[in-house]
Amino acid sequence: AKHEGRNNYQYYSPDLERASQERLYLGNSLHHALQRTEFQVFYQFKSSLSTHKVTGFEAVLRWEHPRRGQLQPDQFIPILDESGLIVPVSRWLTHTSFMQHAKWKAKGLIEKDAKIAVNVSPRLLRDPYFIRGLANSIQDSKIDPTSVIIEITETALLEHSEQTTDALNGLKRIGVAISLDDFGTGFSSLTHLKRYPIDQIKIDRSFVQNLLKDSGDKAIVKAVIVLAKSLKLTVVAEGVEDKATLDYLASLNCDEYQGFYLNKPQPAEEIENLLLNGLQL
Ligand code: C2E
Ligand code: CA
Ligand code: CA
Ligand code: CA
């Protein structure tokens, strides 16, 4: 410890210091990243467990940092969120992915009712201009609002504020679907289902990863699928990495899945090549 005595909670830690310096550095370079087009949108397939067709995509953010190389969302979304830069960056991602979806549809590469899903952070959800911005992106890209899914993590709903209710009702009003991401990891998952206009549940990867080996995970996943069905929600399993897990989920009548078994999030050009060459699902 650097100091003893009254401030004895101020331990000196080189690791912590390095981490906070890195955060500061990334925070500073974030300000230029949007103008310099260092961000990229990657796409991951969502696929039907019954028809094995592509039902849509989830768009995720990547940052090609000039010095650090490709950064994953976990490394910079929290900084984006705190700084408020998440607002313009998400607007850019939304616009880009909607235009991409429209392009693939025009080329006949995806089904007419294929969906595009984007992630919305708690901060963005509370932004008073978020809904209007989204409506503008929908208009500009001429995408059908029913093709749009907004993924909201359970933690975003932790504050049961009027603001949250208003935002979710606003989303329903413009006609997009709401997906509850990372389902099961929050403290009040069932309350959320009761309180908010949810259309889809995404079973968190942590329940899917060891599904075949863990009887507890099996029980939970089975129950969530039954629950989703009886509430008339679609249910998506995330983090499917092998065929055996896929088959098991199909036997439980899970609607859709995502995961490395099918693909990792990839840039638009790679996705387009896969679509052109006929995915082997
Ligand atoms: P998420 O929404 O739960 O996204 C799924 C994450 O799981 C992605 O990581 C994806 O690469 C990973 N994943 C998908 N299938 C598998 C699998 O089979 N195995 C394993 N091990 N992992 C799999 P990614 O792209 O690093 O994103 C991490 C999180 O960052 C996302 O979690 C989401 O919460 C957040 N995020 C990503 N893009 C955005 C964005 O544009 N805005 C906001 N607010 N958050 C974003
Ligand atoms: Ca998501
Ligand atoms: Ca998730
Ligand atoms: Ca997650």
ipTM of predicted assembly, 2 dp: 0.95
Q: Which bound ligand lies closest to the C-alpha atom of 208?
A: 1
* The predicted structure's pLDDT at residue 35: 77
Average pLDDT of span 27-41: 84
Query: Ligand 2 mean position to 58 CA, how many Å?
Result: 7
Residues with CB under 5 A from ligand 2 (ion): 119, 151, 181
- Cα distances (Å, whole numbers) of residue 248 to 150, 210, 212: 27, 12, 8
What residues does the ion ligand 3 have nearby, CB within 5 Å? 181-182, 238
**Residues around ligand 4, an ion, CB closer than 5 A:** 182
154 lines ligand 1 (CB under 6 A): no
Measured from the CB, is residue 46 less than 6 Å from ligand 1?
no
Q: Tell how far the Cα of 7 is from the centroid of ligand 1, in angstroms.
A: 39
224-280: pLDDT as tens digits:
999 999 999 999 999 999 999 999 999 999 999 999 999 999 999 999 999 998 775
pLDDT at 128: 85
pTM, 2 dp: 0.91
